[in-house]
């Protein structure tokens, strides 16, 4: 059993490394081969893409990760078919919303890429869903294979677009969507579209379960969109689209850490969910606290060398001195990333405890700080305002999470058993 868990952990980390590497390569090649303004268009659209992805994650992927891991094999097969039907409806709906939104981009710097999101959102979300479903089935190796094929496909596609002088924000999104959908097809059929075993589970009950759990996660996604995802949009609005591209270029230095914690989350959320279902409160609390400590230590170990060699890395990776314009933000980005890693650990624990309401509350608090003070700071002070907005949003989110989740992370609260089990009837 231990060796199997170890193998799954290795596959999970390798999967996330390959996936994050693919996105890193896409961003670096776009920054090197296009202008800061064109890369800024990609950065702004990608921020919007994450908004749509957040909605899909809240309604489909996150509930699947929590509930799918707990179901018996027969019920799980039926449930996964239900997940696919819900995904198809949500993905098509999001594509329609993106298409309507694209019409509003006429006359802006983004108008040439207005159809990027309607194309990429449903295709890329199918890939993300299929990859996550591999973890429900305890097949992290299969997820690794999907990520490897995806990495090869998107890298080759971006290189071909550059060779044919057709590389742009729109064509990059087209590659991301089409390649993701194509490589996920075999696994998608195997996981979602096989013949279901007989089960009493109904589509209506699965929908209700997702909606009941997702009502908080959905609100969290909206709050996140109004907080962290609005930062590139605010930079583009109050400064320039090129500055948004330069800021995104700085973020890329920390992207591997972001994807590493996300990859650990893919593996750890189902595991923590199973541990909670076993009702061993003491072990659950111990693992929760260890998770927080390890995520924080991992982030510190990553950001220190990035800070030391940051300017050299920017010059080496992008080959364009313009990307050094915002290099003074590196220390603030580093501190924000450490705080965000800690919040990622706390969110995994609270989600496994079926307390998305607490995650929602913390995200709303951080987003409110961004909307009330962060945007104003960017508008008034420009570059220093970006630094203040980064620290404000991540700091407020972490503090609220730590406070509301103190019953899980501390042993002294006599209500810990109730807090851990609360929400079990979702």
What is the rounded CA–CA span in Å between residue 369 and residue 389?
Answer: 8
What is the rounded CA–CA span in Å between residue 414 and residue 351?
Answer: 21
Of how many residues is the chain composed?
A: 426
- Per the model's pLDDT, the better-predicted residue between 268 and 342 turns out to be 342
Q: Assess whether pLDDT exceeds 80 at residue 8.
A: no
User: How many CA atoms are closer than 13 Å to the CA of 398, on its beta-carbon side?
Assistant: 19
Largest CA distance in the chain: 65
CB 172 within 8 A of CB 161: yes
Contact partners, residue 23, CB within 8 Å, separation at least 6: 255, 259
Q: Please report which helix (H) or strand (E) contains residue 370, including its range.
A: none
The model's confidence at residue 232, banded by pLDDT at 50, 70 and 90, is confident
CB 174 within 8 A of CB 119: yes
Q: Please report which helix (H) or strand (E) contains residue 47, including its range.
A: helix 36-56
Write the DSSP string, 380-398: HHSHHHHHHHHHHHHHHHH
pLDDT of residue 73: 64
- What is the average pLDDT across 357-379? 87
Tokens representing 402 are: 């730590």
Q: Please report which helix (H) or strand (E) contains residue 29, including its range.
A: helix 2-33
For the purposes of burial, counting CB atoms within 10 Å of the CB of 79, is it exposed (0-12), middle (13-18) or buried (19 or more)?
Answer: buried
H-state helical runs in 227-329: 230-238, 241-252, 255-277, 281-318
pLDDT of residue 102: 87
Distance, CA of 109 to chain centre: 26
Q: Assess whether pLDDT exceeds 80 at residue 146.
A: yes
Tokens representing 205 are: 């009950």
Average pLDDT of the chain is 84
Distance, CA of 189 to chain centre: 24
pLDDT more than 70, % of the chain: 87
Could you read off the pLDDT of 182-207 as tens digits, one per residue?
Answer: 999 998 888 787 665 556 778 888 88
Three-class secondary structure of residue 200 per DSSP: coil
Could you read off the pLDDT of 374-422 as tens digits, one per residue?
Answer: 888 999 888 888 888 888 988 999 999 988 877 666 544 434 444 444 4
Could you read off the pLDDT of 19-31 as tens digits, one per residue?
Answer: 888 988 999 999 9
Could you read off the pLDDT of 148-174 as tens digits, one per residue?
Answer: 999 999 999 999 999 999 999 999 999
pLDDT of residue 6: 64
> Worst-scoring range by mean pLDDT, 37-46, 74-83, 86-95, 331-340?
74-83
pLDDT of residue 57: 87
What is the rounded CA–CA span in Å between residue 20 and residue 206?
Answer: 31
Phi-psi region of 354 (alpha: psi -120 to 50; beta: other; left: phi over 0): left
- The structural domains of the chain, with segments of one domain joined by +, span 2-421
Annotate 63-74 with b (16+ C-beta within 10 A) or e (fewer).
bbbbbbbebeee
- Per the model's pLDDT, the better-predicted residue between 290 and 216 turns out to be 290
What is the rounded CA–CA span in Å between residue 88 and residue 126?
Answer: 8
H-state helical runs in 114-240: 116-136, 140-163, 169-192, 203-226, 230-238
Three-class secondary structure of residue 350 per DSSP: helix
pLDDT of residue 409: 62
Q: Assess whether pLDDT exceeds 90 at residue 358.
A: no
Distance, CA of 341 to chain centre: 12
What is the rounded CA–CA span in Å between residue 220 and residue 202?
Answer: 27
Q: Assess whether pLDDT exceeds 70 at residue 426.
A: no
DSSP secondary structure letter of residue 101: H
Distance from the first to the final alpha carbon of the chain: 30
For the purposes of burial, counting CB atoms within 10 Å of the CB of 243, is it exposed (0-12), middle (13-18) or buried (19 or more)?
Answer: buried
Q: Assess whether pLDDT exceeds 60 at residue 345.
A: yes
């Amino acid at each position: 059993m231990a060796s199997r868990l170890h193998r799954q952990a290795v596959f999970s980390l390798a999967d996330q490394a390959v996936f994050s590497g693919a996105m890193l390569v896409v961003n670096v090649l776009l920054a090197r081969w296009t202008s800061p303004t064109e890369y800024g268009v990609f950065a702004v659209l990608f921020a919007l893409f994450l908004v749509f992805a957040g909605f899909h994650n809240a309604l489909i992927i996150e509930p699947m990760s929590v509930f799918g891991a707990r179901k018996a094999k027969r019920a799980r097969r039926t449930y996964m078919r239900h997940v696919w039907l819900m995904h198809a409806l949500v993905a098509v709906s999001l594509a329609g919303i993106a298409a309507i939104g694209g019409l509003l981009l006429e006359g802006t710097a983004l108008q040439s890429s207005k159809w990027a999101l309607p194309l990429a959102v449903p295709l890329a979300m199918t890939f993300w869903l299929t990859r996550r479903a591999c973890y429900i089935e305890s097949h992290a190796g299969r997820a690794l294979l999907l990520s490897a094929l995806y990495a090869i496909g998107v890298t080759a596609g971006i290189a071909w677009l550059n060779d044919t002088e057709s590389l742009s924000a729109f064509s990059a999104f087209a590659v991301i969507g089409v390649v993701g959908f194509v490589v996920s097809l075999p696994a998608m059929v195997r996981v979602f579209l096989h013949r279901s075993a007989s089960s009493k589970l109904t589509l209506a009950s699965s929908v209700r379960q997702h909606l009941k759990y997702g009502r908080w996660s959905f609100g969290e996604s909206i709050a996140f969109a109004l907080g962290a995802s609005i930062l590139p949009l605010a930079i583009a609005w109050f400064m320039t689209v090129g500055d948004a591209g330069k800021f995104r270029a700085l973020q890329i230095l920390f992207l591997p850490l972001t994807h590493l914690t996300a990859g650990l989350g893919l593996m750890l959320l189902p595991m923590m969910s199973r541990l909670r279902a076993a009702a061993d409160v003491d072990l659950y609390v111990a693992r929760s606290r260890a998770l927080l400590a390890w995520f924080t230590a991992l982030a510190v170990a990553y950001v220190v060398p990035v800070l030391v060699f940051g300017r050299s890395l920017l010059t080496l990776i992008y080959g364009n001195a313009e990307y050094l314009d915002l290099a003074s933000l590196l220390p603030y980005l580093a501190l924000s990333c450490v705080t965000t890693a800690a919040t990622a650990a706390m969110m995994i624990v609270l989600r496994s405890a079926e307390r998305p309401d607490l995650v929602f509350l913390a995200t709303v608090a951080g987003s409110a700080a961004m909307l009330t003070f962060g945007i104003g700071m960017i508008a008034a002070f420009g570059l220093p305002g970006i630094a203040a907005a980064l620290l404000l949003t991540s700091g407020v989110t972490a503090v609220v999470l730590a406070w509301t989740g103190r019953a899980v992370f501390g042993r002294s609260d006599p209500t810990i058993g109730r807090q851990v089990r609360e929400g079990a009837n979702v």
